[in-house]
Amino acid sequence: MRTNSLMLREIREQPQALARTLTSAQSVVQELKKRFATRRPRLIILVARGTSDNAALFGRYLLEVSTGIPVSLAAPSILTVYRSKLDLKDTLVVGISQSGESTDTNYVLEWAAKAGAATLGITNRARSSLAKIPDHLLLVKAGPERSVAATKTYTGQMLALYLLAHALGARIRMRDLQRLPELAAKALETEPEVAERAERYRFMRYGVVVGRGLNYANAFELALKLMETCYVVAERFSSADFLHGPIALVEPSFPVFLYASPGPVWRSLKEILDRLEALQAELLVFTDRGHREAYAARRRAIVVPEAVPVCPGMPEDLLTPIPYIIPGQLLAAYLAREKGLNPDRPRSLQKVTLTL
């Protein structure tokens, strides 16, 4: 049964939002390519909060893997609270904000511009405060996002970071990125199955989300969605960190959600998958049709019904994060419904949070 919460409507809008973002960003990407062809940054700093910070975590893996440039996630308090000075010579500072009104994100971006760093903004709002600050602006063309829980802007921000990697010279072709709207549409085909499986978790109070590499950020994002829309205490771990102690939490029927992506991370994910099955965890795996080993003979897998393509010369899991997060978003929305909650208006939250 389909429901019409704003969150679900916006999840379903993602293929169109991604396609608009790709089309509108072409001129900015060309400007960035010209700039970086003559002066490539030696360091990239990403600054964000909330869901945007999870997109930044994805960006850290993506940019380091595909460009070889070291990437740091900014701690805004270094500037806003401790008033420390940083050496930003030959640095690119990227501010990421859905609304463009995140006060500490904007403060860091503004300070970085004055300190001589190259600056880039990624936002969904062309007339926001953030849009006025940086040298370059990549707009996420998601349209108004009215649900408090961000969904289509998260994947839009991820796409913007792919575009940045392309502009920095990564071997990520535009025709590869043009497959992402189609992959998002295929991921939405899991909705009936996700809606049915959500009922199983109606009484869930706590759980763990596990990922690694390029899908590590998705573990953070799914956990955040479970916390803010379903009021579930959801911890998130890399598969490596989970084995270093937290796996002791797991007992029969303990809920664990696992992003089972292919490529270099699969060996460690397979190890933890086998351990979790032996411990009789309540396990739900997110994967895609091309990764047969991850879902073969496993009854509890949500499978994107399309093989995610591989970018030549890049890791096999490079394009998996956007199609993989969509079933997770759907799960949070339908689980909220099962619990009798409104995912569009979580208690104690508002769309724009101002911190400094």
* Residue 288 reports pLDDT greater than 90: yes
Instruction: Specify whether 87 is located in the same domain as 201.
Output: no
Residue 210 lies in a domain: yes
The enclosing domain of 100 has a CATH number of 3.40.50.10490
- Tens digits of per-residue pLDDT, 82-94? 888 888 999 999 9
Residue 351 lies in a domain: no
What is the pLDDT confidence band of residue 178, given thresholds at 50, 70 and 90? very high
Residue-range definition of the domain harbouring residue 53? 6-178
Residue 106 lies in a domain: yes
CA dist 313 and 51 (Å) reads: 30
- Tens digits of per-residue pLDDT, 28-42? 999 999 999 999 999
- Tens digits of per-residue pLDDT, 321-352? 999 999 999 999 999 999 999 988 876 555 45
CA dist 123 and 101 (Å) reads: 9
CA dist 6 and 78 (Å) reads: 36
Share of the chain above pLDDT 90, in %: 84
Instruction: Specify whether 147 is located in the same domain as 247.
Output: no
Instruction: Specify whether 65 is located in the same domain as 196.
Output: no
Tokens representing 249? 């939490």
- Tens digits of per-residue pLDDT, 159-176? 999 999 999 999 999 999
Q: Is 83 helix (H, G, I), strand (E, B) or coil?
A: coil
Q: b/e string for 313-325 if b means 16 or more Cβ within 10 A?
A: ebbbbbbbbbbbb
Among 1-10, 136-145, 186-195, where is mean pLDDT lowest? 1-10
Residue 352 lies in a domain: no
Residue 356 lies in a domain: no
Sign of the alpha-carbon torsion through 341, 345, 348, 351:
positive
Q: b/e string for 2-20 if b means 16 or more Cβ within 10 A?
A: eeebbbbbbbbbbbbbbbb
What DSSP character marks residue 308? P
Residue of 327, 31, 6, 286 whose CA lies nearest to 142: 6
* Residue 76 reports pLDDT greater than 90: no
- Tens digits of per-residue pLDDT, 197-222? 999 999 999 999 999 999 999 999 99
Instruction: Specify whether 209 is located in the same domain as 107.
Output: no
The total domain count for the chain is 2
Given this model, what pLDDT does residue 351 score? Answer: 47
CB atoms within 10 A of CB 34: 10
What is the pLDDT confidence band of residue 141, given thresholds at 50, 70 and 90? very high
Describe the strand order of the beta sheet including 43-47 as a list of residue ranges.
Answer: 71-73, 43-47, 91-97, 118-123, 136-139
Given this model, what pLDDT does residue 355 score? Answer: 55
Instruction: Specify whether 266 is located in the same domain as 204.
Output: yes
Residue 343 lies in a domain: no
Share of the chain above pLDDT 70, in %: 96
With vertex at residue 234, the alpha carbon angle to CA 232 and CA 240, rounded to the nearest 5 degrees, is 165
Given this model, what pLDDT does residue 2 score? Answer: 46
Given this model, what pLDDT does residue 298 score? Answer: 59
Instruction: Specify whether 37 is located in the same domain as 135.
Output: yes
Residue of 105, 82, 81 whose CA lies nearest to 94: 105
Which residues are CB-contacts of 221 (< 8 A; sequence separation ≥ 6)?
Answer: 51, 54, 154, 325, 328
Residue 122 lies in a domain: yes
Given this model, what pLDDT does residue 3 score? Answer: 60
Instruction: Specify whether 81 is located in the same domain as 131.
Output: yes
Given this model, what pLDDT does residue 348 score? Answer: 58
Q: What is the CA radius of gyration of the chain?
A: 19
Which residues are CB-contacts of 105 (< 8 A; sequence separation ≥ 6)?
Answer: 47, 48, 49, 52, 76, 95, 96, 97, 130
CA dist 203 and 183 (Å) reads: 32
CA dist 74 and 274 (Å) reads: 36
